[in-house]
Structure 1
Amino acid sequence: VWWNFGSLLGLCLITQILTGLFLAMHYTSDIETAFSSVVHICRDVNYGWLIRNMHANGASFFFICLYMHIARGLYYGSYLFMETWNIGVVLFLLVMMTSFVGYVLPWGQMSFWGATVITNLMSTVPYVGNTLVQWIWGGFSVDSATLTRFFAFHFLFPF
């Protein structure tokens, strides 16, 4: 069982990409219509509720498999192969970023405040922190430009 989590991660990734493509066909990344487009997907699109739930819960299953994969690597000392382990750490960080920007996309209250709080953490970086936050936001606050950028990042990070 220990050795199957890498393969399960591949299957999860394929499922996430396919369900994400179907969701992207109906999603709009504008702050005025993003939440309504998610409601439209769940209520009006044939099996849209199923596709959205598969995508949301698939992300959780992806993380379960990922943490089990990391645990196996720690248990068997895979961290001793530094090049391979470092690539895994970079991939882990990319997965975390992808899931965070995906969490923001439905644009509910939790999404908005999650984006505001987490991106504001970068303002603690000396000298460039505030500039970096404004660059990510696309202005002086989380707005439509932020949502559009996060949608683009959500699409690009897996590739």
Structure 2
Amino acid sequence: SAFSSVAHICRDVNYGWLVRSIHTNGASIFFICIYLHIGRGLYYGSYMFKETWNIGVILLFLVMATAFVGYVLPWGQMSFWGATVITNLLSAIPYLGDTLVQWIWGGFSVDKATLTRFFAFHFILPFMIAGASIVHLLFLHETGSNNPTGLNSDPDKIPFHPYYSYKDLLGLLLMLLLLIIISLLTPNLLGDPENFTPANPLITPPHIQPEWYFLFAYAILRSIPNKLGGVMALLASILILMI
């Protein structure tokens, strides 16, 4: 089963525990970088580069989708119930909702068919992200980027190496240091204890909650009593970047 395969990777595969720890905590580091990137983009007015910005928002959706389907794969309690709750939100769509949910589930509940297709999505989506990232860069190179002063960058241009290469390397090393510290010292700090229990459709966890990087969206979803209203607010919390 999917759950025991995780135990097998961590116990029996050479350095499997390390690969898993870096993979799961690397996602958290990745989202820290993404949110910092969006924040500086808002602060410095990068939304004026419309094509670059809109592809960036599409990239955010793709990354969030990849993280969501990936979180389901270990098939623990929070994986199973997270998948059930979030996919079930599609039933809020008038007329099509119930059919759509069953189509995504591949049956009448989250089951092996759902797990198999989520595994496929978790593999395919990063390639789509890589492709969209190239288009993101392509449009950025059409205009050039901006700077904290908001003025033309041409008079300030200096050689990329060694100045920017060392500056970027420092940031990279600091993020890698943070990743290594978390992965080696507190690998389960950001995870959910419920995921140490195999998925059981008969027992609901006392608190269904996502990983920290989706908490803002989930809090907005749960704060609105109406199902469709909550779903619309959740989408709006990300789509507001398009305005």
Deviation string for 1:68-91 (max 9, x for gaps)?
Answer: 000110001011111111100000
Tell me which amino acid in the other structure corresponds to 1:158.
P
Q: 1:27-106 counterparts in 2 under 5 A?
A: 33-106=1-74
Matched, 1:117 2:82: no
1:119 CA drift (Å)? 0.3
Higher relative contact order (CA 8 A, sep 6+): 2
Matched, 1:153 2:94: no
Tell me which amino acid in the other structure corresponds to 1:55.
H
% identical equivalent positions: 80
Q: How many residues align?
A: 127
Give the TM-score, by structure 2 length.
0.52
Distance (Å, rounded) in 2 between the aligned partners of 1:153 and 1:128 = 22
Deviation string for 1:110-140 (max 9, x for gaps)?
Answer: 1000000000011101111111111110011
Runs of 5+ consecutive residues of structure 1 not aligned to the other structure: 1-32
Runs of 5+ consecutive residues of structure 2 not aligned to the other structure: 128-243
Tell me which amino acid in the other structure corresponds to 2:108.
F
Distance (Å, rounded) in 2 between the aligned partners of 1:42 and 1:67 = 30
Distance (Å, rounded) in 2 between the aligned partners of 1:98 and 1:89 = 14
Distance (Å, rounded) in 2 between the aligned partners of 1:153 and 1:134 = 17
Deviation string for 1:7-63 (max 9, x for gaps)?
Answer: xxxxxxxxxxxxxxxxxxxxxxxxxx0000000000000100000000000000000
Runs of 4+ in 1 over 4 A off after TM superposition: none
Tell me which amino acid in the other structure corresponds to 1:70.
I
Give the match's secondary structure for 1:147: helix
Tell me which amino acid in the other structure corresponds to 1:145.
A
Distance (Å, rounded) in 2 between the aligned partners of 1:127 and 1:74 = 37
Give the TM-score, by structure 1 length.
0.79
Partner residue of 1:132?
100
Distance (Å, rounded) in 1 between the aligned partners of 2:48 and 2:99 = 38
